[in-house]
Amino acid sequence: MAIKDTAEEWEVRATDTPFVGNKTSVRTDDVVMPDGSVVHRDYQVHPGSVAVLALDDTGRVLVIRQYRHPVRQKLWEIPAGLLDVPGENPLHAAQRELYEEAHVKAEDWRVLTDVYTTPGGCDEAVRIFLARGLSEADGRRYEVEDEEADMELARVPVDELVRGVLAGDLHNNCLVVGVLSLVAALSGDGLDALRPAEAPWPARPFEP
């Protein structure tokens, strides 16, 4: 048997949306189980996200430090953002986020990995890109606001981030998955063997 996730959809007898927020909502589905019983499943409906592991020529990763209110912590993260427009090309969104959060552009883009953040309670899918060939972006810096106004930027060696992840000092999902995926790619077939930036993404279909 191939170890590969596969699409499957169980019957939904009824559905309700008890909460609708600015970007996400909460849905309740009555789902038919294999034995014929029906159970309630509550989950967050999310537009999807992109994240960028930006790797410079000296082997350092561009990271940002930002306050995250739900967990009451300032977390070190990689640039990331929502797919605000249905069908939005994730590469274009990732390039925008790298520009807005770090004022950086990249020449080489690859898909590092695709993940569901919390599939037991949320349908959020994230595509994490690898960006190389970094340089300062053209034009004026993007004007940040809210939590982003207090954001810090740094470039940190990959091995230092790995130690932080394994020591329990770094917790952001995209940073953890991105950094460990990078190390796996480097020790495997290499970064040039990663999927192209426009590779299909069944979890969030997009326009070319």
The residues assigned a catalytic role are: 148
d(CA 197, CA 129) in angstroms, rounded, equals 7
Which pair of tokens denotes residue 35? 């034995």
User: How far is 75 from 152, CA to CA, in rounded Å?
Assistant: 10
Token pair listed for 162? 């790995």
Look at the alpha carbons of 93, 164, 123, 5 in this order and tell me if their dihedral is positive or negative.
positive
- Residue 6's contacts (CB-CB under 8 Å, 6 or more residues apart) are none
Amino acid identity of residue 115, one-letter, is: V
